[in-house]
Structure 1
Amino acid sequence: MMAYLALAIGLMVADHRGQYGQQIRARMAWLTEPMWWLASAPSRAFTASREGLALRGQMQEDNARLRRELEISSARLNRLNAVAEENLRLRELLGGTRGYRLNVQMAGVLDIDLDPYRQRLVLDAGSNTGVRVGQALIDSGGVLGQVIEVGPRRSTALLLTDPDHAVPVQVVRTGLRAIAYGMGRTDRLNLPNIPQSADIRVGDLLVTSGIGGRFPAGFPVGTIAELNPDATRLFVVAQAQPAAHFERGLEVLLVSNLPPVTDMGPPAPRPSPTPATPAAQAPKPAPGNLP
């Protein structure tokens, strides 16, 4: 016992000073590592197969969901195409803005000024690329504003929320028309002078009405957020949350109405007047006869 104890103490002292035990353990680990890898192979294979099955199941669910969404989107698109064709036929019958189309152009944002008293947007497109004063700006959310200054390579747009900006809007649910004014805030638009009897609610969607021809009809403008009576208690003042993303996005679309398309051909030539012939002239009375 004493001999074994002395041997153990000697080995511990040698291991502490010479680190012999650590070297031996490292070599033994190198030798036993293949055995550990083989022993853990079934567990790793089971884990990999389970993760693969779960990933495959998730992909199948996502694929089915995307297929359903695609079918729904296709149905909606077909419905919108049918409505557009019907709208075009009605416009033809009514003699309205027949064949209106949109001119769309993309432009990049160089600078944006969101000062409460001056809200402007500088674009990297100008008259050289066809930009002109009055074109409407939209992004993925809705209407941003309109172009007010155009240079050869740059243009400046007035944002929808500028205090000097106004846009004709229409409530989608009821067709009520109003004017939305900027308030100098990127989260609010003001709609004053709404009659008390008007059917308008919080949450109603506002789109451009197309009145005036500056903004094409049908683009989202905002959503009604508040309804309050004015000072006279005779009208309602509504405040709307803008649909556009004023504080993010590096590209915008410039849209404008193209002239209506007409199917009428060139006017038919007018027939030239036929000169009167002597036969066509009234006969003169004979001498001596009473007229």
Structure 2
Amino acid sequence: MVYPGAPAPRLGDSAGGTLPLLAWMALAVMLMVADQRGDFGQRARGYAAVAVEPVWWLAALPQRVGGWLGEQLASRSELQEENDRLRRELQVSSSRLHRLAAVAEENDRLRELLGGTRGFTLSAKLVGILDVDLDPTRQRLILEAGSEEGVTVGQAMIDAGGVLGQVIETGPHRATALLLTDSSHAIPVQVVRSGMRSIAYGTGEIDRLELRNIPQSGDIRVGDLLVTSGMGGRFPAGFPVGTVTELQPDDTRLFVVAQARPAARMDRGQEVLLVSNVRDAVDIGPPLPPPPEAEATPDPASGAAAADASAPTEGRE
């Protein structure tokens, strides 16, 4: 619209504003056609992404540095805690080793005093199980080895947990063993903590042993470990027998009865180990020479007769 008095637009002014727009439009169309034909745009974007990548890396650097520092601090804290824990465990283990060394020295002294197991070594033989009888009145194992394989009556029988029982009968290729929990079985035991000795009796139950007639002053507690004492010589000393689970007074209130859980697994396992003490061979040196023959002692009667026989000869001379 042209207002009265306003100057009329010139053709040059209109063309000057429109021509640049047309030029840019033509350039855009050319670029689109070139991109469609030669895929220049995608390549340009790839080059641009490569050029901008360092900028993104620098922008993300503070976050990466912060995460790395956090991991290092956490790892250092975990390592410090683990180091402290291992140091404590090492101290406890060292104290236990010192205690075990003291106990070993004490055992050596006691064995020297008592004669203990000096002169004996432990013989062991692995034997398979053929049959198991866990009847409350008869608890037996049938072993697939007998006297021909070296099994003898009286050998102690153990498994990975502890004492199982002992061999009571042997055949050429079979053997019968009495379980520790049989009601007719008894085994000498010793409390590891206090050294108190007692007898553990079978109860006919595969998960219970019984220690009877313990004095009221006996040093035994719930949780004490029982091992073979070696008394009697049939069961080698030191094998686990069970753990005390209960203490109660007997009917007379004068003694204590202890209940124990067997250490061995009475109702499982396919093999057992037969162990026994074997006396060491002692070198006694070369055999002694036979004693010299004793010189004949003259009989008084024969001596007198000889004197009488020689007397006339001397007279004739």
TM-score band (shorter)?
0.5 to 0.7
Structure (1 or 2) with the greater helix fraction: 2
Give the residue type in structure 2 aligned to 1:191: L
Q: Which AA in structure 2 matches 1:111?
A: D
Q: What letter corresponds to residue 249 of structure 2 in structure 1?
A: P
CA separation of 1:233/1:136 partners in 2, compared to 1, >3 Å: closer, same or farther? same
Matched, 1:238 2:261: no
In 2 relative to 1, CA 195–107 (structure 1 residues): closer, same or farther, beyond 3 Å?
Answer: same
Residue 241 of structure 2, aligned match among 221, 224, 228 = 221
- Structure number with greater Rg is 2
Alignment of 1:139 onto 2:159: yes
Residue 139 of structure 2 corresponds to residue 124 of structure 1:
no
Q: 1:86 to 1:129 in 2, by over 3 A?
A: farther
Determine the C-alpha separation between the residues in 2 that align with 1:270 and 1:92. Answer: 35
Greater alpha carbon shift after TM alignment, 264-273 vs 190-199: 264-273
Query: Contact (CA 8 Å) 1:221, 1:243: kept in 2 or not?
Result: yes
Q: CA deviation at 1:99?
A: 2.8
TM (normalized to structure 1)?
0.63
Secondary structure at the aligned position of 1:128 is classed as helix
The match for 1:248 is 268
Query: In structure 2, what is the equivalent of residue 151 of structure 1?
Result: 171
TM-aligned CA distance change 1:135 to 1:265, over 3 Å: same
Structure 1 counterpart of 2:60: none
- Alignment of 1:110 with 2:130, yes or no, is yes
Encode CA deviations 1:37-58: one digit per residue, 9 max, x unaligned. xxxxxxxxxxxxxxxxxxxxxx
Change (3 A) 1:76 1:274: farther
Shift of 1:97: 3.4
Q: 1:190 to 1:108 in 2, by over 3 A?
A: same
Hey, what does 1:281 align to over in structure 2? Answer: none
User: CA RMSD, aligned part only?
Assistant: 3.5
CA shift digits 1:220-252 (9 cap, x unpaired):
000001101001100001110000001111010
Q: Any idea what the Cα deviations from partners look like across 1:251-273, whole Å, max 9, x if unmatched?
A: 10000000144354356558748
Q: Distance in 1 between matches of 2:96 and 2:271?
A: 27
In the alignment, residue 106 of structure 1 is paired with which amino acid?
Answer: L
Q: How many residues align?
A: 214
- 2:157 is paired with a residue whose SS is strand
Equivalent residue, structure 2, for 1:37? none
Deviation of residue 109 (structure 1)?
Answer: 0.8
How many angstroms does 1:79 deviate by?
A: 9.1
Identity value in percent: 71
Deviation, structure 1 residue 160: 0.3
Q: Which runs of 5+ in 1 are unaligned?
A: 1-60, 277-291
Report if the CA contact (8 A) 1:97-1:260 is conserved: no
Q: Distance in 1 between matches of 2:293 and 2:104?
A: 46
CA deviation after TM superposition for structure 1 residue 86, in Å: 8.0
Cα separation, 1, equivalents of 2:143 and 2:134: 15
1:193-208 matches, within 5 Å, as 193-208=213-228
Q: C-alpha separation between the residues in 2 aligned to 1:131 and 1:77? A: 37
Letter of the aligned partner of 1:105 in structure 2? Answer: K
Offset from partner CA, 1:67-118 (integer Å, 9 cap, x none) = xx9xx99x98999799768856764576553232111000011110111111
| Residue of structure 1 equivalent to 2:186 | 166
The 5-angstrom pairing of residues 46-65 of structure 1 reads none
Q: Is the CA contact 1:222–1:243 (under 8 Å) kept in the aligned structure 2?
A: yes
**Amino acid of the residue matched to residue 202 of structure 1?**
V
Give the residue type in structure 1 aligned to 2:223: G
Aligned to 2:54: none
- The structure-2 alpha-carbon separation of the partners of 1:95 and 1:200, relative to structure 1 and needing over 3 Å to count, comes to closer
Would the alpha carbon gap of residues 264 and 85 (structure 1) be closer, same or farther in structure 2, given more than 3 Å must change?
farther
Q: Which has the higher contact order (CA 8 A, sep 6+)?
A: 1
Question: Quick one: structure 1 residues 204 and 80, their matched pair in 2 at CA, closer, same or farther if it must change by over 3 Å?
Answer: closer
Match of 1:98 in 2: 118
CA distance in 2, matches of 1:268, 1:245: 52
Q: Following TM superposition, by how much is the alpha carbon of 1:125 offset from its aligned partner in structure 2, in angstroms?
A: 0.7
Distance in 1 (CA, whole Å) between partners of 2:117 and 2:137 is: 37
- Structure 2 gap segments, 5+ residues each: 1-78, 297-317
Shift of 1:200: 0.6
Structure 1 residues 79, 270: CA separation in 2 closer, same or farther (over 3 Å shift)?
farther
C-alpha distance 128-223 of structure 1, shift in aligned 2 (>3 A): same
